Amino acid sequence: MKTTTIKYILLFVAQAALWNYFNFTQYLLLVFLPVMILCLPTARGPVYLMAVAFVTGLAMDFLVTGQLGLTSLALVPVALLRRPIIQLVFGSELFARGEDLSFHRQGWRKFMLSVLLVTAVFLLVFLWADSAGTRPLWFNALKFALSLVASSAVGVFVAYLMLAESGERWK
């Protein structure tokens, strides 16, 4: 089994454990699933990524949230928008040269921006669907802001973990 796949599965388990056992506050949702999708090999097309995102979300819902479809609903748009986000932040040369993302080559600032963007997409859909029109806007806005800051900080670390090997290759 490839290292990326193993890392992906391990991070998935970590995310499930985090959601199951660490409920800090109702204003915070710590999530790094979007970063896991972001860090998958660039050679993979959007259809493959969306399928992976859908299955990942479904498994997460089955194991943790109990609301089948909720995480998939939010994670599939991340997979769809991954390519435009990478092109926007890192430039389209990556795809032209067939290179994967590298934490060392691209630098943490760019990674921070891309992690922010994918996390924001995920949180927007997830919080909107999760509240189902029952929570006030200020609550959702506050939860979105806090979760975005915290999840992005964690997300950069997760990206570092996922891309550590490819980074070594480019040193």
Partner 1 sequence: MAQGRKTSTFLICAATFILMEVAALALLHGTSTLQNIWINRASHRAMAFLWGSGETVRSHFQLERLNRELQADNARLQERLNAYEAQESARTEQERTGPPPSSSYRYIPATVVKMSRNRTRNYIILDKGSEDGVRPQCGIVSDRGIVGIVEAVDKHYSYGLTLMNPDMNVGARIGGTDIVAPLSWDGLSSTGAVVRNIPPHYAIASGDTVVTSGYSSIFPPEIPIGITGRTRLVDGSTLQVDVALFQDFATVRYVTVVDNLERAEILAVEAAGEDRR
Q: Is 66 in the site for partner 1 (CB under 8 A)?
A: yes
Length of the chain: 171
* Residues within window 117-156 making contact with partner 1, judged by CB under 8 A: 129, 132-134
Interaction residues for partner 1, span 29-48 (CB under 8 A): 45-47
> Least Å distance between CB 40 and partner 1?
16
Euclidean distance between CA atoms 150 and 31, whole angstroms: 9
How far apart CA 120 and CA 22 sit, in angstroms, is: 21
**Using CB under 8 A, which of the segments 10-18, 49-57, 100-108, 148-156 binds partner 1?**
49-57
- CA-nearest of 74, 46, 49, 47 to 60 is 74
Name which position in 7, 19, 57, 89 contacts partner 1 (CB under 8 A). 57
Please identify, using beta-carbon distances, which residue of 31 and 158 lies nearer to partner 1: 31
Piece in contact with partner 1 (CB under 8 A), picked from 2-10, 14-22, 70-78, 155-163: 70-78
Candidates 5, 20, 23, 69: give the one binding partner 1 (CB under 8 A).
Answer: 69
| Nearest CB to partner 1, comparing residues 71 and 152 | 71
Would you count residue 17 as binding partner 1 (CB under 8 A)?
A: no
Least gap, CB of 124 to partner 1 (angstroms): 14
Q: Return residues touching partner 1 (CB under 8 A).
A: 45-47, 50-51, 53-54, 57-58, 61, 66-70, 72-73, 76-77, 80, 129, 132-134
